[in-house]
A and B are shown apart, each in its own frame.
Chain A
């Protein structure tokens, strides 16, 4: 396994990829935002088994240019960028839901698609698809996940 080195490289399609440590993530992104990369396009979490790679895709309307910022985390924790972009709110919730990255400092870190007590994060490589879970609704209209089918099923 390669050691993660901060720095800059070119991607397969010629775009800039900036690699930073997760401690410098927020400062790098806010610097890029002040440089004109005001459109946060996508936040992706990639489960690499030993660690999780978090990729941010930014876009600048003025320069008409794309850039990606990459960081890694070994304990599934990454600082949140909701203070910089409001669109990061739902994107981070989605990545928390499906990949299981905990964004430190997020105001409302809840699952976006699945119910709150769903076991496991489906886009992790070690997620067991054979472990079937069901969803039921309680009296207050909130969903909850169970391993037992229950009455409705």
Chain B
């Protein structure tokens, strides 16, 4: 055993291709082994929580879009769950189903970005093209619905920005038909690769109790054996009316996390295919929240709402003081907790394994630093 003073401090980031953006890791290494890891964050701290206090309830959605930018409609849903309870304006039935479809599409889009980036980190270039190809078909739906590819700003207080027309529903149906085959294709690129398996099997094992202690949620918690998904635990939107399963695993390693996520994509496709069939007719906007009147909505009291974003439990806590702007907005970022457990996972692993462990945590820095 070498004394602690002989450990070399290795600085990874903030600009490093395998840190998913702007993460800095202070690793203390002994040879090839990482002994300690201390993440340094805040390189994308964009003061969204402060800006939310100075903006109308209806306009705050844009800051939530830019939090988890790979799955923006999922974030909008998370904010609106809280804001609509606070303001007492609820969306009509059709809007609820449309939001469900959009949230699930964004979950798939986010998972595909993660798969592409994860492949790149492990040195696999091919899955990148397959993932982005499938993702483009989701973005086509987003463009048709909202006019924007990435940051949709589609859901608004009391409904959605515009109705799903026939063209969009056709696109969604086409996606539901094509996607399962393509997902299996992408999956086979990973799972049939020996190097991928050997770099992930048994690496980065996260114990169930440690995960709970660190507040880890999402795929990391489910891969460690806790069946916790907000969509089932406290159904919001239309999730109580569709059939789907929560994939879990007891292994807790990188491979388990990967398999859980692939299964999540399959389940999301299942939810979308049910939702598009059940999509009811009717208005898509609550007349109480007319666009010209929306900035006059006042909120009092406090609401904490949680949703299952693509990364885990996304919570929004809004405190209102009776004004047209929120008094305090606090966001529970799932990625922040998933990152904080790196201090445990990054103990006594190889430097190359650190990259693959970091890859499976799926970090998005817009949401961590806000």
Which residues of A pack against B, CB within 8 Å?
Answer: 11-13, 15, 38-42, 44, 46-47, 55, 57, 61, 64, 66, 68, 85-87, 89-91, 94, 98, 112-114, 122-123, 127, 129, 141
Which positions 84-110 of chain B face chain A at CB distance < 8 Å? 85-86
Which positions 311-325 of chain B face chain A at CB distance < 8 Å? 313, 315, 317, 319
Q: Which residues of B contact A114 (CB under 8 A)?
A: 42, 45
Q: Which residues of B contact A42 (CB under 8 A)?
A: 304, 315, 317, 330, 332
A85 vs B214: C-alpha distance in the bound complex, in angstroms? 7
User: What is the total of A-B residue contacts with beta carbons within 8 Å?
Assistant: 84
A46 close to B212 (CB less than 8 A): no
Q: Does B199 contact A (CB under 8 A)?
A: no
B50 close to A87 (CB less than 8 A): no
A109 vs B15: C-alpha distance in the bound complex, in angstroms? 26
Task: Identify which of B53, B328, B340 contacts A44 (C-beta below 8 A).
Answer: B328
A86 close to B304 (CB less than 8 A): no
Interface mask (B209-249 → A, CB under 8 Å = 1, otherwise 0) = 00011110000000000101000011000000000000000
A113 close to B369 (CB less than 8 A): yes
A57 close to B42 (CB less than 8 A): no
Q: How far is the CB of A32 from chain B (nearest CB, A)?
A: 14
Q: How far is the CB of A19 from chain B (nearest CB, A)?
A: 13
A13 vs B316: C-alpha distance in the bound complex, in angstroms? 13
Q: Does B49 contact A (CB under 8 A)?
A: yes
A39 vs B230: C-alpha distance in the bound complex, in angstroms? 13
Q: A42-B332, A85-B215, A112-B41 are in contact. Are A68 and B234 (CB under 8 A)?
A: no
Grouping DSSP codes into helix (H, G, I), strand (E, B) and loop, the B interface class, with mixed when no group exceeds half, is: mixed
Q: Which residues of A contact B301 (CB under 8 A)?
A: 11-12
Q: Which residues of A contact B198 (CB under 8 A)?
A: none
A57 close to B49 (CB less than 8 A): no
Q: Which residues of B contact A39 (CB under 8 A)?
A: 212, 215
Q: How far is the CB of A145 from chain B (nearest CB, A)?
A: 12
A141 close to B336 (CB less than 8 A): no
Q: What 3 A-B pairs are tightest by C-beta distance, nearest first?
A: A87-B215, A113-B42, A113-B45
A125 vs B155: C-alpha distance in the bound complex, in angstroms? 30
Task: Identify which of A15, A89, A122, A141 contacts B340 (C-beta below 8 A).
Answer: A89
Q: Which residue of B lies closest to A42 (CB)?
A: B332
B304 close to A64 (CB less than 8 A): no
A87 close to B214 (CB less than 8 A): yes
Which positions 288-332 of chain B face chain A at CB distance < 8 Å? 301-306, 313, 315, 317, 319, 327-328, 330, 332
Q: Which residues of B contact A113 (CB under 8 A)?
A: 41-42, 45, 369
A93 vs B213: C-alpha distance in the bound complex, in angstroms? 17
A89 vs B39: C-alpha distance in the bound complex, in angstroms? 13
Q: How far is the CB of B275 from chain A (nearest CB, A)?
A: 24
A68 vs B302: C-alpha distance in the bound complex, in angstroms? 11
B302 close to A11 (CB less than 8 A): yes
A68 vs B328: C-alpha distance in the bound complex, in angstroms? 16
Q: Does B266 contact A (CB under 8 A)?
A: no
